[in-house]
Amino acid sequence: MTADERLAQRGERLQRLTQTGRGTEMGTLLRTFWHPIAVARTLAAGTAKPVRVLGEDLTLYRGEGGRPHLVAGKCAHRRSVLHTGWIERDEIRCMYHGWKFDGTGQCTLRPAESDTGLPPVRIVAYPTHEYGGMIFAYLGETPAPAFDLPCKDVFEGDDRIVFARSEIWDCNWLQLVENSLDAAHVSFVHQKGRIGTFIENVSDAVPTLEFEETDAGIRQIATRGIGNVRVSDWTFPNNNHISVPGLQKGDPWIDIGHWNVPLDDVSTARMNIWAVPKSTPEADRRISDYFEARADYNAADHYRELFYENIFPEDTVMSLTSAQDYLAQRGQGVVADRDNEILGRSDAGIALLRRIFAREMQALATGRPAKMWRKLEHATDLPIQAVAP
């Protein structure tokens, strides 16, 4: 094989990691996992909205009793969108001619037909699960795996403030996932603006990096000095769990669970859960208010300001970190040019990530068993004091 052929083969291999539609290798792999598809509080009981996930346009609705359901984007009759219809008990009715569907996709009523039993019509439907303030869905072959891998004690329990939010970025999902395994970026991307107490606690020294494949994903260790060690716990295929300093000096550190879900190959939902141990009623109120006030910030809405006008959000934690990460990752293009990249030692996590994805895609494509990723038996300890006191 010539050098050019080797390069072309590498390019094709990497391109496959970016393609997530139904029938693609990555799309097939991703469909074997649960993914967060919406922030739970944005969907009131008895309402519906359109969602896009892995290239599929779907309808997400909540029955009047509050149960979420994910069904086809379009009605089986004459293909009008379903989310403009209305909810009756646990079913959705198309506004065009009133056909009704339940949460399993079964058509239950065609008012202008003379059905004597259930109409012989179904639309696609996927299982959902609510967790950590988000609605998750499983778009693969049934039965769905147990909802276990995304669970972490730190995102559960009444002793925590748990706040979910999402942004939609106009670039391919792989850029966002690769960034999770790129601890070196923190020392540069998050310098500007002295975000919160972060740089003070973590420092801007370039880290030495270690990576280890675990039962659930990859453990990443970034060491910036004696006693200054950050650990992040990445769960296959698109979740990163990190811990960051509190909003103010003296506030508890924040656990962030961060999922990158392809809406399609040129847009990605950056879904995250922020979880903080409760402390005093005043601090809890202040922290909750802070989260709520910034819930709707979406860095992609500020493309011009960020890229061409050098205007950054005033908030120095949630919005600024998003803006900085967006600038770096969207700055790679809608789909990063991996044909012309030059990887170095600091990219060992990205290289490992790509090898694992390739291995798992290959297993599925050739009918070999894929790895049975499972929740870690003992939660990874993420140090909450990165700098030695």
Q: Counting contacts by CB under 6 A, is residue 78 touching ligand FES?
A: yes
Given a contact cutoff of 8 angstroms between Cβ atoms, the answer to whether 34 and 144 are in contact is yes
Q: Counting contacts by CB under 6 A, is residue 77 touching ligand FES?
A: yes
**What residues have CB less than 8 Å from 161, skipping those under 6 apart?**
274, 275, 276, 278, 284, 287, 288, 291
Angle at 31 between CA 323 and CA 101, to 5 degrees: 100
**Residue 10 CB neighbours (<10 A):** 12
Residue 4 backbone dihedrals phi, psi, to 5 degrees: -65, -40
Q: Counting contacts by CB under 5 A, is residue 182 touching Fe ion?
A: no
Which of ligand FES, Fe ion, none interacts with 97 (beta carbon under 5 to 8 A by kind)?
ligand FES
Q: Which stretch binds Fe ion (CB under 5 A): 6-14, 23-31, 54-62, 317-325?
A: 317-325
Q: Which of residues 280-309 bind ligand FES (CB under 6 A)?
A: none
Q: Counting contacts by CB under 6 A, is residue 195 touching ligand FES?
A: no
Identity of the residue, 68 or 257, whose beta carbon is nearer to Fe ion in the bound complex? 257
- How far apart CA 36 and CA 77 sit, in angstroms, is 29
Question: Which pair of tokens denotes residue 79?
Answer: 């293909």
Q: Which of residues 96-155 bind ligand FES (CB under 6 A)?
A: 96-99
Q: Counting contacts by CB under 6 A, is residue 75 touching ligand FES?
A: yes
Q: Which stretch binds Fe ion (CB under 5 A): 216-224, 307-315, 325-333, 365-373?
A: 325-333
Q: Counting contacts by CB under 5 A, is residue 325 touching Fe ion?
A: yes
CB of 106: closest distance to ligand FES in angstroms? 15
CB of 115: closest distance to ligand FES in angstroms? 13
Which of ligand FES, Fe ion, none interacts with 286 (beta carbon under 5 to 8 A by kind)?
none
Task: Please classify residue 148 by burial: count the beta carbons closer than 10 Å to its beta carbon, then call 0-12 exposed, 13-18 middle and 19+ buried.
Answer: exposed
User: Residue 306 CA to chain centroid, in angstroms?
Assistant: 23
Which of ligand FES, Fe ion, none interacts with 176 (beta carbon under 5 to 8 A by kind)?
none
Q: Counting contacts by CB under 5 A, is residue 255 touching Fe ion?
A: no
Q: Can you say whether the dihedral through the CA atoms of 177, 183, 184, 189 is positive or negative?
A: positive
CB of 242: closest distance to Fe ion in angstroms? 9
Q: Which of residues 80-99 bind ligand FES (CB under 6 A)?
A: 80, 94, 96-99
**Residue 388 CB neighbours (<10 A):** 9
Which among 195, 185, 194, 163 is positioned nearest to 317, based on CA atoms?
195
Q: Counting contacts by CB under 5 A, is residue 178 touching Fe ion?
A: no
| Contact residues: ligand FES, CB under 6 A | 75, 77-78, 80, 94, 96-99
